Chain A
Amino acid sequence: MDVRSRLLAGVTLAALVLLVGNGCSSPPPAPPPNQDPTDPSQLSPPPSGQGVQMLTNAFAVPAGTEIQACYFFKVSDLEQAAGMDPTQPLEVHRVQIVQKPGSHHMNLFRVRTITGLDPANGAVQVGTNGQGACFYSSNWADWPLLANTQDQGDQDWSYPDGIANELQPTETLMLQTHYVNAATQQSPDGVGQVGINLWTIDPSQVTSQLGTVFATNQNIRICQHNPTPTFSASCQFNSPQPVTIVGANGHFHSRGKEFDIYSWDGTSTTTPDVSQRFYKSTDWADPPMLHSPGLEQSIVPRGGIWYTCSYQWVDPVVLTNGEVTCDTLNQLDAAKNHTPPSQLDCCYTFGGVVEENEHCNAFVYYYPKQDDVNCF
């Protein structure tokens, strides 16, 4: 099945799983003051003129499935819906995210080159169990990160004073939400939903722009006979002046044992000293999201980050109560990576399906912005 066919299948499935709502960008009426931090529908939008809201519809996450849905929003449409001038940039200073329980991740990207995931194919494009354009990361290879969370409930982060991430009205945003209702992770309500508020400040208050880093180490293998691999990679800010990291989190799946992010000088080829480590996660299912004011990590000019993912191979039968076996993983490895039979070793390889694949992704937010950076 080619990408377009998968996409059509995904859109068809989307029509089946969408439960409520006939639009994604219109903010709801003002909610009551007492908000449930796990109910996106109760997230109050910013008051008129102070920001925009993105709210997905509620969608079913049936037992035994993983749903990854991509929602597209044009910035000018969001501005118009929020009573703002749709011709002016948004100076985003505060990000508020509320998710229903069970979210595996939520990433918000700025759409750039269109390859296999085209907003023209629908404002909502849903993938299931690894199938569909919303699951193929090469489709957003040059899309800068805007925001992300892996937290349960709500995340509310105001950037340091004067710091903003400017969005142009002509831009399109892609909100990607991933819910898992399987063995390694569950969605207790069987329903997923995300609400995001992007609060703005007046342009006259902006002193520096926020930049982002999305670093993903995708060529990874965690195999039965190489059961404790460690993968490290680097990523520069390419800034001639020092920058300050004000947000960071790491993402891997259940074979992940430790995720570390270090400040890095941009020239060394060995793991930085532990004193340079500013992020550590040993809980794959609930990784810490560090941000200012608690996190303010200085990086030297032309420096960057060094990130390391360490894994422990686990028998998939034990991990998934028999839903996934070594045969399953070997078949996937052969089909996806063209791995010959002699090299099949019950390996977890890169991919978005939590039960069967692994990730090693670092999300970093910094200022002053030199550029948004993606490292593979």
Chain B
Amino acid sequence: MPIPFPPSRLPVLSLSLALLAAGCSSPGEQGDAGTDAPSDAPESFDAEPCAAGYLGDPSAPPDFTFQIVRADDSVAPLNDGDTVPLILPPQGGRVFFVGVRATNVDGCSLQLTGALRDLSTNAVRVDSRTVDLVATGDGWGVSGMATTNVTGAIADFSNVPVCPNEWSQTNIYGNVYGLEVTIQDRRGKMLTKKIHVTPQCAEPANLDECLCICKAGYVLGQPCGDM
């Protein structure tokens, strides 16, 4: 059945993907900032229905800090060497929710990519999604919302799915992994940052299940204690 779609914005998406494919500011090194935004950005960018608008200085390189959702739904800054909480999401398994506090980017339709890398094998788990940041009034914008509790806004964070562990050679919990976050705005400005983190089963109520499905060698469907 044909669906009466509103005017498509796919050309905008295509432009972003084309810029990505062309290697504009390709992610790689820590703090690898892409600042080669087109100076003649299409007018249509300004017509998008997003409250965040442009955050900070369009002529300045993008920047962000890491944000993590904790087990109590609060948001905290995340720094190199910190632990990240493994949380039971609505669908099962375990994920962690990583977001950003960013500036000098278009806060509308920002592509947010989060990835956890096994440093011994280089294997990685990735989640990438289009989000609108929430402006905080100081030239910066944040994932989720300006308040401290993000219940209901976890879809605005990268939901990095790490368990069941059918990909990493070590237990997900208690070991150091690489966390990589990339932001790319609609105008092609992009920045990747990498830090080290240690995932941790963070919810005592289902600890046994977490320890089971996140361990090395887990086989889908195997009995997991209190599941």
Contacts and interface: CB of A to CB of B under 8 A. Distances in A.
Contacts of A273: 21
Interface in A334-357: 334, 337-340, 342-343, 349-350
A91 interface: no
A171 to B, nearest CB: 10
B153 A343 contact: yes
Contacts of A22: none
Interface stretch (A10-18, A49-57, A154-162, A228-236): A228-236
Interface in B80-108: 89-93, 95, 108
Nearest to B154: A219
Interface string B1-19: 1011110111011000100
B93 A376 contact: yes
A105 interface: no
A228 B130 contact: yes
Sort chain B's interface into a size bin: 35 or more
Given A141-B92, A142-B164, A221-B155, A228 B10 contact: yes
Contacts of A373: 166, 220
A302 B93 contact: no
B152 A142 contact: no
Nearest to A110: B221
B151 A184 contact: no
Contacts of B224: 113, 142
Interface string B173-188: 0000000101000000
Contact of B129 (A229, A314, A349): A229
Contacts of B132: 225-226
B121 A302 contact: yes
A227 interface: yes
Contacts of B17: 271
A137 interface: yes
Interface in B1-50: 1, 3-6, 8-10, 12-13, 17, 20-21, 26-27, 49-50
A135 to B, nearest CB: 13
A187 B139 CA distance: 52
Given A228-B130, A339-B152, A372-B220, A254 B166 contact: no
B167 A285 contact: no
A374 interface: yes
B196 interface: no
Would you call the interface of chain A mostly helix, strand, loop, or mixed? loop
B6 A349 contact: no
A216 B223 contact: no
Interface stretch (A29-37, A196-204, A262-270): A262-270
A113 B227 contact: yes
Contact of A269 (B121, B126, B151, B223): B126
Given A228-B10, A229-B129, A270 B27 contact: yes
A137 B92 CA distance: 8
B124 interface: yes
Given A141-B92, A219-B91, A269 B1 contact: no
A285 to B, nearest CB: 7
Interface in B115-136: 115, 117, 121-132
Contacts of B143: none
Contact of B166 (A217, A227, A371): A371
Interface string A294-331: 00000000101010001011110011000000000000
A350 B161 CA distance: 16
A233 B9 contact: no
A285 B1 contact: yes
Given A227-B6, A232-B127, A343 B152 contact: yes
Given A138-B90, A142-B92, A227 B145 contact: no
Contact of B3 (A219, A229, A236, A314): A314
B10 A257 contact: yes
Interface of B: 1, 3-6, 8-10, 12-13, 17, 20-21, 26-27, 49-51, 89-93, 95, 108-109, 111, 113, 115, 117, 121-132, 145, 151-156, 159, 161, 164, 166-167, 180, 182, 213, 219-224, 227
Given A144-B221, A226-B109, A230-B129, 5 more contacts: A113-B223, A137-B91, A257-B5, A257-B8, A266-B167
Interface of A: 110, 112-113, 115, 137-138, 141-144, 184-186, 216-221, 224-234, 236, 238, 254, 257, 266-271, 273-274, 285, 302, 304, 306, 310, 312-315, 318-319, 333-334, 337-340, 342-343, 349-350, 371-376
